[in-house]
């Protein structure tokens, strides 16, 4: 028969450390929303306004200062399109829902090949990421348009039989180190109801 000897001091320290870890984790979850709100305020983006994609029972948020314009396209490939533009931050883009049955990765690889062939963009890169615990892709590149250089950040999230695309384009002279985090935070506001 074995006798188990427990060092009470070590056991006490282990419980204290585990309790602190749980406490810090809970505080981090509580502060997460506030930190994002601070990032929006620091970048002069203000409060967020909620938009609903009725057909897919999905919501997302954009800064309320941004001008938006919902467009319709013929056919059934792009079933939702909402343009957005900041007042003076040099940011524009759109949110789309694509009714595309093929592989999202193949779609992005084809886009990369076409862009490289036509020399429209530079530094086209595709990254695997997680958005709200879902597999997604981030596409980053640099392009010239209307006499300005823009950095592009496009997020592609597969949802059911469609994919949702968030595209952000920011003028080179308006970009800063915080913008990629702000864009990701906006994309993470997307929720399926």
Q: What is the CA radius of gyration of the chain?
A: 22
C-alpha dist (Å) from residue 48 to 24, 79, 170, 187 = 27, 24, 19, 12
Give me the residue spans of the domains in the chain: 1-42, 47-192
Q: Please, what is the average pLDDT of the chain?
A: 85
CB 57 within 8 A of CB 192: yes
Beta bridge partners, 141, equal 152
Give me the pLDDT at residue 156, please: 96
In terms of pLDDT, which residue wins out, 92 or 47? 92
Give me the pLDDT at residue 42, please: 54
CA distance 135 to 137: 7
CA distance 61 to 132: 14
Percentage of the residues of the chain whose pLDDT score is greater than 90? 40
C-alpha dist (Å) from residue 6 to 12, 57, 147 = 11, 55, 73
Confidence band of 32 (pLDDT split at 50, 70, 90): low
Query: 54-86 pLDDT, tens per residue?
Result: 999 999 999 988 999 999 989 889 999 999 998
In terms of pLDDT, which residue wins out, 175 or 152? 152
What fold, for 47-192? Protein Transport Mog1p; Chain A (3.40.1000)
Closest CA to 101 of 72, 82, 73, 77: 77
CB 60 within 8 A of CB 50: yes
Query: 138-169 pLDDT, tens per residue?
Result: 999 998 877 888 999 999 999 888 999 999 99
Confidence band of 175 (pLDDT split at 50, 70, 90): confident
Q: Which residue has the tokens 């530079």?
A: 122
Q: Which residue has the tokens 């913008």?
A: 179
**pLDDT above 70 for 36:** no
Confidence band of 126 (pLDDT split at 50, 70, 90): very high
């Amino acid at each position: 028969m074995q006798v188990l000897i427990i060092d009470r001091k070590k056991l006490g320290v282990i419980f204290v450390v585990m309790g602190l870890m749980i406490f810090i984790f809970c505080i981090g979850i509580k502060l997460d929303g506030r930190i994002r709100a601070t990032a929006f305020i620091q970048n002069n983006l203000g409060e967020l306004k909620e938009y609903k994609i009725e057909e897919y029972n999905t919501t997302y948020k954009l800064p309320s200062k941004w001008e938006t314009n919902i467009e319709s396209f013929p056919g059934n490939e792009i079933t939702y399109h909402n343009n957005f533009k900041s007042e003076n931050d040099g940011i524009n883009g759109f949110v789309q829902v694509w009714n595309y049955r093929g592989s999202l990765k193949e779609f992005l690889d084809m886009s990369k090949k076409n862009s490289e062939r036509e020399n429209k963009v530079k530094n086209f890169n595709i990254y695997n990421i997680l958005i709200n615990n879902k597999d997604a892709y981030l596409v980053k590149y640099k392009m010239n348009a209307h006499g300005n250089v823009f950095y592009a950040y496009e997020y592609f999230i597969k949802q059911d039989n469609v994919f949702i695309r968030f595209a952000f384009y920011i003028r080179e002279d308006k970009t800063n180190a915080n913008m990629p985090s702000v864009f990701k935070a906006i994309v993470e506001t997307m929720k399926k109801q």
